[in-house]
Amino acid sequence: MVYCFSFKSTLIFTLVCILLLSVFVCESVPLNETRFKPMEELKKMIRVRTHLKKINKPSVKTIQSPDGDLIDCVVSHLQPAFDHPKLKGQKPLEGPSERPKGHNSSNNEIYETVQLWAELGYCPEGTIPIRRTTEKDVLRASSLRRFGRKIKRGVRHDTMSGGHEHAVAYVNGDEYYGAKANMNVWTPEVTDPYEFSLSQLWVISGSFGNDLNTIEAGWQVSPELYGDGFPRFFTYWTTDEYQATGCYNLLCSGIVQTNNRIAIGAAISPRSFYNGEQFDISVMIWKDPKDGHWWLQFGSGEIIGYWPSFLFSHLQKHASMVQFGGEIVNSGSNGYHTSTQMGSGHFPDEGFGKAAYFRNMQVVDWDNSLLPLVNSQLQADKSSCYDIKEGQNNEWGNYIYYGGPGRNAGCQ
């Protein structure tokens, strides 16, 4: 039992005692911890544990992944998305009304990647797999408010911002209703714990100001978010340029997952090796012409779930830009450019088996048809650090090689 007799007998201190008592009893914190932790640390832990209770939902089964993750099988209508007032009391949709015309569910991957946790069995029907978030995950973030969120800016426009650097192919100037591509998966080195390296496609609308809407999916290495250097399948969304809305994966009310076989945020295995076998994933995002929601497909036709259209402003209608490529954060913490790698960590000139690629890059048009990119443009923020090159052939359609090592003789 914890005694509060050392506090002054005022109402405010009594309330503090009651609050601390409830936390210690519910969480079974040992008595000696309560006597030595500073008050600010206690307040921080209260906030962290309250947040964890919000995002870690009760599970019917937990799977210990060989890579260290705990995967909770959560009843589908209890996932974080249904904390949203507009979804409370509802259940997930069964699936999209239709997939884009020209879609080939087999995808003809070079080698398709998997997630190690699923080798031990999938979650039961009616549940979805959610990577459990731990106290350590939250405490690695710069603040609880920023946990699970990108730091501006996560989209390439005209200038680098917040240390973000990109090497992307993009199309704009039309109405887009989705995008699809295959990308090979690597394990780029991230040299600062607050940096990341990712490869993804972006579906974008808005003015690149506070009204920017994006939907993003691909793979990323983020030591801050996940606590390791594994590449992980991830999603992101925002409707106000990464300020107060949106998050990674299922860390807030956003994407509604419907799949019991793929865990968003879980590690991808196997990965590509330099001058060796190449492993890639297929990602497709598209706006369902009937329900208006933005659906996500991963791998060989696995429907993952959807972002409800009401989450967005501009994307309730369509996208105005689509991007494919890589992004890193250059924190400059040592006074010079980071050595964090993008893609394979090698420049695009090295080609297949050595450089990272996107292939079969396509967009979805107003008629829900997949079309090759037309008049695409390339942009590398610092080509001496990370570069990009494009090509086209009958087997790969429109493709790019991209990436680089970061700091080198030409990148200081």
What is the enclosing helix (H) or strand (E) of 41? helix 39-55
Q: How far apart are the C-alpha atoms of 243 and 238, rounded to whole Å? A: 8
Catalytic residue among 195, 216, 224, 241: 216
- 216 as an active site residue: the answer is yes
358 vs 123, 156, 282, 362, CA distance in Å?
31, 17, 10, 11
In one letter, which amino acid is 303? Answer: I
Q: Are 336 and 257 within 8 A, CB to CB?
A: no
The two tokens of residue 382 are 């610092």
Instruction: Please name every residue paired with 139 in a beta bridge, in sequence order, or none if there are none.
Output: none
Determine what percent of the chain falls in helix, strand and coil, rounding each to the nearest 5. Answer: 15, 30, 50
Q: 55-59: long-range contacts at Cβ-Cβ below 8 A with a sequence spacing of 24 or more?
A: 55/80, 55/133, 55/250, 55/251, 55/252, 56/130, 56/132, 56/133, 57/130, 59/127, 59/130
97-130 residues labelled b (16+ CB within 10 A) or e (exposed): eebbeebeeebebeeebbbbbbeeebbeeebbbb
Catalytic residue among 165, 241, 327, 390: 327
What is the enclosing helix (H) or strand (E) of 249? none
Phi first, then psi, for residue 253 (nearest 5°) are -75, 110
The two tokens of residue 90 are 């509802």
32 vs 22, 42, 72, 313, CA distance in Å?
16, 13, 32, 51
Range list of β-strands (E), 194-318: 197-205, 213-221, 232-238, 256-257, 280-287, 294-298, 302-307
Maximum Cα interatomic distance, the chain, rounded to a whole number of Å: 80
- Sign, CA dihedral 287-293-294-300, equals negative
Tokens 């998966």 sit on residue: 185
Q: Which residues are catalytic?
A: 216, 327
